[in-house]
Amino acid sequence: MNTGVQGITEEDIAAYLANTPGFFERQAELLATIQLASPHGGRAVSLQERQMEMLRERIKGLERRIIEMIRAGHDNEALVNKMHRWTRAVMLARSTIMLGQVLIEELKHEFMIPMVALRLWGVAPSHTGLPWAQPVSDDLKTFAASLAAPYCGLNSGFEAAHWLAADGTPAQSIALIPLRLGAASGECFGLLVLGSPDALRFQSDMGTEFLQQVGELASAAMARALAD
């Protein structure tokens, strides 16, 4: 605590001025003589000039926030449009046989995801020969069923990562999205895998709300391929 003249502290002075709003009205000439250090170069400036500098800094801060909000709004709008186009393409798939491939290719196209793979189990016999209905291990089925939310992070040798081979380039980061019947706690019948050679594309601390929505839509679309 800084001690002033005769034991008066800076806190005492600040409290007095805060509780005496008419002080500077009665001592108007004092305002013209007060000088403060400017944060720009350390030169002395008047109180009024310092207040203007502070106001300009606050305005700049508000402008930056507005620009960030506008940018976020544009990003969200673009994401909604991409999701709409992907969903529409999936809905327009002419047959169940085409459905899986449309889902995969349109995900790649709309969201610029380098690697996408899909596997379903329990499909109708007429679909067992399709690429997305190839057999998977019981361990993978158990793992997929254990995912309460999509997994995002580095590829640490997941079995599903082997489905992503693209020109021999391994996926460094992946997202694993379980496909379920009905609610989030419904029976797991498949796994959608997104991959990238960029280790930072899918990170463990990224939000998964968008991926959950992709999983729900993919689940609703691909459920028609299951055996009755």
Task: Give CA–CA dist 216/44, Å, rounded.
Answer: 62
For residues 133 and 164, the answer to whether their CB atoms sit within 8 Å is no
pLDDT tens digits, residue range 161-171? 989 866 678 89
97-153 per-position pLDDT tens digit: 899 999 999 999 999 999 999 999 999 998 888 999 999 999 999 999 999 999 999
pLDDT surpasses 60 at 3: no
Across the range 12-23, mean pLDDT stands at 78
pLDDT for residue 96:
85
Question: What is the average pLDDT across 74-88?
Answer: 89
Burial grade of 43 (CB within 10 A; 0-12, 13-18, 19 or more): exposed
What would the 3-class secondary structure string for 136-147 be?
A: CCHHHHHHHHHC
**List of residues 6+ apart from 46 with CB closer than 8 A:** 32, 34, 35, 36
State the pLDDT at residue 166: 60
d(CA 188, CA 156): 22
Has residue 174 got a pLDDT over 80? yes
Picking from 72-76, 148-152, 193-197, which range would have the lowest pLDDT averaged per residue? 72-76
At 20-68, the pLDDT tens digits run 877 767 766 666 666 666 665 556 556 667 677 778 888 888 888 888 8
Contact, 48 vs 33, CB < 8 A?
Answer: no
pLDDT band at 208 (very low <50, low <70, confident <90, very high): confident
Q: What is the dihedral sign for C-alpha 86, 92, 93, 95?
A: positive
